[in-house]
Amino acid sequence: MIEIPERKPVFTAKPPNPSRLADGVSDAIAAALFDGRISPGEPLPPEGEIAREFGVSKPIAREALRQLTAAGLIFTQQGKVARAKALSGESMDKIYGYAVRSSLKRLREANEMRRVVETGIARLAAERRDPEGLDIMRQGLAGMLASVQEPSGFTAADILFHLGLAVTTGNYMIRVHMESMRSVQREVSELFSRRANRSDADWRATIDRHQAIYDAIAVGDADLAEQKIREHFEAADIASLEVADKLKDAER
């Protein structure tokens, strides 16, 4: 008789609190995803095996997987094992997207959040100067230069620049959070670009502000990086919200 070796536990599970069994199972699986024991795209153990490892019923294991699917950490297909997803800001980006499109008030609040968050990010980026992030920022600048008077391309390059800003911190969670704000960035950038009287000089002034942020970060000047990103928001985002006000009035 061939002896089948027992599979090594994946989750280093601790017995969950009986009153919150599914939460305990989902927390342990999430920990395995975050620390790399299960890579993006890799299948999770079958539902029955998860139940055995944690000492819970299959319905509890199924509920834990449902929670992780809702959080965007895994994806499932009928009749197939669940697979891990790469951590991203996709779920929150959808929520922010709904919010900023719902009302001008929510757009203002989201824009205010972005200013508060990105000034801190700029400081850390200048202190860390991760090469990958600096390269992404340069790609964003090049994309802006190539997209003057072309709003959709300019917006995409703008979003790429700010992702690079986050990557330059070397902090993965900051990168994910920046990804979650893409809807906010897209809404503001598109509003700004929709101004009928936007001249070439105005487009290039926007590029110059981004270039100044990059230059401050590249030389490691955290104070200057914070100053330049504040100046950028004052000039660009506030103007975008003024455009939004006008568009709102025109719809009445």
CA torsion sign, 34 to 38 to 44 to 48?
negative
d(CA 1, CA 58): 29
For residue 63, what pLDDT is reported?
Answer: 93
For residue 91, what pLDDT is reported?
Answer: 81
d(CA 123, CA 171): 13
Provide the residue-wise pLDDT of the chain in tens; the chain has 252 residues: 455 455 566 666 555 555 588 999 999 999 999 888 999 999 999 999 999 999 999 999 999 999 999 888 998 877 788 899 988 888 888 888 888 888 888 888 888 888 999 999 999 999 999 999 999 999 999 999 999 888 889 999 999 999 999 999 999 999 999 999 999 888 877 776 666 566 788 889 889 999 999 999 999 999 999 999 999 988 765 555 555 555 555 455
For residue 90, what pLDDT is reported?
Answer: 83
For residue 3, what pLDDT is reported?
Answer: 53
How distant, in Å, are the alpha carbons of 7, 80, 84, 177 from that of 75? 23, 10, 7, 20
For residue 245, what pLDDT is reported?
Answer: 59
Tens of pLDDT, residues 90-131 = 888 888 888 888 888 888 888 888 899 999 999 999 999 999
Tens of pLDDT, residues 215-243 = 999 999 999 999 999 999 887 655 555 55
d(CA 231, CA 225): 10
